[in-house]
Structure 1
Amino acid sequence: MIITGVETFPVAPRWLFLKVSTDAGVTGWGEATLEGRVETARAAVHELEDLYLGTDPLRIEDHWQTAWKAGFYRGGPVLATAVSAYDHALWDIAGKHRGAPVHELLGGAVRDRVRVYSWIGGDVPAEVAEHAAATREAGFTAVKMNASGRLTALDTSASVDRVLALAEAAREAMGPDGDFAMDFHGRFTTPMARRVIHELEPLRPLFVEEPVLPEYGHRLRDVVESTTVPIACGERLFSRTDFLPALQAGIAVAQPDLAHCGGISEGRRIASLAETFDVQVAPHCPLGPIALAASLQVAFTTPNLLIHEQSLGIHYNTTADLLDYLVDPAVFRFADGHCARPSAPGLGIEVDEAAVRRAAEVGHRWRGPVWRHPDGAFAEW
């Protein structure tokens, strides 16, 4: 069996899918979504295709090593996203070729279902309470939300109070046996993060995500040691070597995104590395169905899994949603806040290729917003 074709499909709302074909008629799907930089990631995917065309798709590790290391310049989100998509697709082919889901090829499942959380919105406490209560009513036992909008480096007491009010609303709606997490989204400076997280302690969030920007990872320890709230990060870390300083800083939860960190192969290694630090894994995945399918395959084999993200109904999905490109969306039917273990070969999903091709004819040009402070200076989104 050899690889004969590589195709990419930019589809709404902001995703990029990859199809890898073989001369045996077995195809594999991957996701190369790099939010706001899809065309850049697409170019990287096709730059790498010379390393894949005409080769054996079952030599997954050799492909990973070659694609990651063959260029003089390594790492970063663009290369890592392109390698991730190929890795998804090759594991998908391997599973289909052997008639087994990927999690069986990785050593077998360690659990029967994976706990998942949902995103909720709301700019005021009443909205947060309403959305959290509706999510709880739908069976989910955990939610995540943004902690704030635009912030200055050392914002006002009122801005701190707004964060606390949102957290209080979420805690009340979820109850003592439910969980809420807050995403700081890199919008906080280190001193601002320390101030606010200290105030959150009585509300016992499941975790606080990305309290400081990844380029200030050397300040993570300052945040970790200032609070009892579990600190999470990882969506903008792209390899084991990127994660190591964060683990050494004492984070409680690692959040590799398997569409950005080197795919199934590297995502599994990151989870194993995290286990040696007594750190739990909560994969970052506000993306499409292929990324979720690939990430869940690893989640089912990860002993130190905490919870998993999924994007059904997330605020980004305005023109298409998680289930729109699947032949059978039942594989992502969430019950009691959990996703059941998939049993179909490969990634466990069947992509609706006709729907993908129709959507790719339209494509998309999704961009993240650009925020500015009242004085006109750039503000972190």
Structure 2
Amino acid sequence: MKITKLETFLVPPRTCLLRMGTDEGIIGWGEPVLEGRAHTVAAAVAEFADYLVGQDPLRIEQHWQVLTKGGFYRGGPVLSSAVAGVDQALWDIAGKVHGVPVHRLLGGPVRDRVRLYAHLDAESGDLAEQAAQRVEAGFTAVKTSAPVQHRALDSPAAVRRLVDDVATIRDAVGTEVDVAVDLHGRLSLPAARRVLPLLEPLLPLFAEEPVVPEQSAQLAQIVDATSIPIATGERLYSRWDFAPVLSAGVAVVQPDASHAGGISEVRRIAAQAELHDATLAPHCPLGPIALAACLQLGFAVPNFLIQEQVLAGGPYDTTAGLGYLADTSVFSSRDGYIKLLTGPGLGIEIDEKAVIRAAELGHRWRTPQVHHDDGSRAEW
């Protein structure tokens, strides 16, 4: 079997899908994208085609090594995201060749269902109502975010707003539902050391990305300053990136299967986390192929915690992405869980006609730019 063609499709709301063809008619799908840089990643995939076309798609690890290390210049979000989508498509083909879901090729499932969480939109208000709606829909965990314009050293009122928001959610859902807090890199070290102890009585599931990844060296001090489990990793792209944050004591790692080298590398990051008694909660604010890749990992990874998704609810709602599936029932959740996927490959069937139609519309989604009231740039 040989790879014959790689085609990318930029489809709304903000993603890129990859179709990998073979000379035996077996198709593999991936989702190589970096939010706000979809066109750039698609160009990187096109460059990969020079090497991949004519190759055996079942040599997944060989291709991963060549694509990540054979170009001399290594790493970074664009390259790692392009590799990730290719890797997903290769695993999809391998599963279809052998007639089994990817989790079988990863050693078989260690659980029968994967737990999901839903987002809340902190900027739109009514957090209690949103949280109640998510719980009514079956979710047993929700996540909210820090205010977009949080400063390095903010006012008592701003600090209290975040704490009060989380308290409002906790009051609405009770103690049987988990509440996670995404700080989105919007805090400084002193701000994190102030805010996190105030959140401790509310028992968050985790506090995500308290500082930007450039400040990962500060994570050990943040971990020591709070009893709240610290999570990070959506802007880390390899096991080498994760080594220092795991040594700092983070409790939850959040690699993205469409950014961090695909299924192959995220599986290795999970094993690396296991050495540090940390759990895996993959980042996934994307479409159905990215989510399917994450779920395959979730079924096979022993130290898996919970799965992000945006196909149902929240500020990044991408329900339209379900339209790229021939059968959406594979993502039907019950009691906040998705049951074991049993279809071959990634376990989903893509509606190619729907993808082609959507690609005619395309998109040019860009990361929102936000500012403090003095005009200086703020972390989004």
Task: Tell me the TM-score normalized by structure 2.
Answer: 0.98
Report the alpha carbon displacement of residue 317 of structure 1 after superposing the two structures with TM: 3.5
Match of 1:155 in 2: 154
Q: Is the 8 A contact 1:122 1:131 kept in 2?
A: no
Matched, 1:260 2:259: yes
Deviation at 1:122, TM superposition (A): 3.1
- Structure 1 moving runs of 4+ over 6 Å: none
- For the aligned residue pairs, the C-alpha RMSD in angstroms reads 1.0
Counterpart for residue 141 of structure 2: 142
Partner in structure 2 of residue 30 of structure 1: 30
CA–CA distance in 2 between the matches of 1:203 and 1:148?
Answer: 18
Gaps of 5+ in 1: none
Q: Is the Cα–Cα contact under 8 Å of residues 311 and 322 in structure 1 kept in the other structure?
A: no
Aligned to 1:213: 212
Count of residue pairs the alignment pairs up: 379
Q: What secondary structure, in the 3-state scheme, does the structure 2 residue paired with 1:344 have? A: coil
Shift of 1:172: 1.1
Name the counterpart of 1:229: 228
Corresponding residue number in structure 1 for 2:75: 75
Kept in 2: contact 1:13–1:316 (CA 8 A): no
Offset at residue 322 of structure 1 (A): 3.4
Matched, 1:356 2:352: no
Equivalent residue runs for 1:7-22 within 5 Å: 7-22=7-22
Provide the residue aligned with 1:101 in structure 2.
Answer: 101
Local SS of the residue matching 2:321 = coil
2:44 is matched with which residue?
Answer: 44
CA contact (8 A) 2:122 2:146 kept: no
Which letter does structure 1 place at the counterpart of 2:348? I
1:115 to 2:128 alignment: no
What's the CA shift for 1:152? 1.6
Q: Which amino acid letter does the alignment assign opposite residue 177 of structure 1?
A: E
Report the counterpart of residue 305 of structure 1 in structure 2. 304
Aligned counterparts of 1:226 and 1:351: Cα–Cα separation in 2: 46
Do the aligned partners of 1:16 and 1:32 also contact (CA within 8 Å) in 2?
Answer: yes
Give the whole-Å Cα distance in 1 for the aligned partners of 2:282 and 2:43.
26
Q: Partners in 2 of 1:308 and 1:350 — Cα distance?
A: 21
Deviations 1:321-364 (A, max 9, x none): 23111000000001100011100000000001000000001100
Q: Is the 8 A contact 1:116 1:339 kept in 2?
A: yes
1:288-342 Cα deviation digits (max 9, x unpaired)? 0000001110110111111111112332336x52311100000000110001110
Matched residue type, 1:17: L
Q: CA deviation at 1:114?
A: 0.6
Are 2:148 and 2:378, in contact at CA under 8 Å, matched by a contact in 1?
Answer: no
Contact 2:148 2:379 in 1 (8 A): no
| CA deviation after TM superposition for structure 1 residue 123, in Å | 3.4
Q: What residue is the counterpart of 1:371 in the other structure?
A: 370
Cα deviation for residue 368 of structure 1 reads: 1.5
SS of match in other structure, 1:66? helix
Find the counterpart in structure 2 of residue 321 from structure 1.
Answer: 320
Distance 1:15 1:103 in 2: 24
Alignment correspondent of 1:194: 193
SS in 2 for 1:321: helix
- Tell me by how many angstroms 1:151 deviates: 1.5
Aligned partners of 1:222, 1:50: CA distance in 2, in Å? 46
Q: How far apart are the structure 1 equivalents of 2:321 and 2:336?
A: 16
Please say which of residues 369-378 and 324-333 is displaced more in the overlay. Answer: 369-378
Q: Which letter does structure 2 place at the counterpart of 1:88? A: Q
Counterpart position of 2:284: 285
Partner SS state of residue 317, structure 2: coil
3-state SS in 2 of match to 1:117: strand
Q: TM-score, normalised by structure 1?
A: 0.98
* Secondary structure in 2 matching 1:324: helix
- Asked whether the 8 Å contact 1:286–1:314 carries over to 2, the reply is no
Gaps of 5+ in 2: none
Q: Please state whether the residue corresponding to 2:181 is helix, strand or coil.
A: strand
How big is the shift at 1:173?
1.5
SS of corresponding position for 2:323: coil
2:63 matches 1:63: yes
Measure how far apart 1:121 and its partner are.
1.1
Which secondary structure state, in structure 1, belongs to the residue aligned with residue 165 of structure 2? helix
Structure 1 residue 9, shift from structure 2 partner? 0.1
Greater Cα shift, 308-317 or 192-201:
308-317
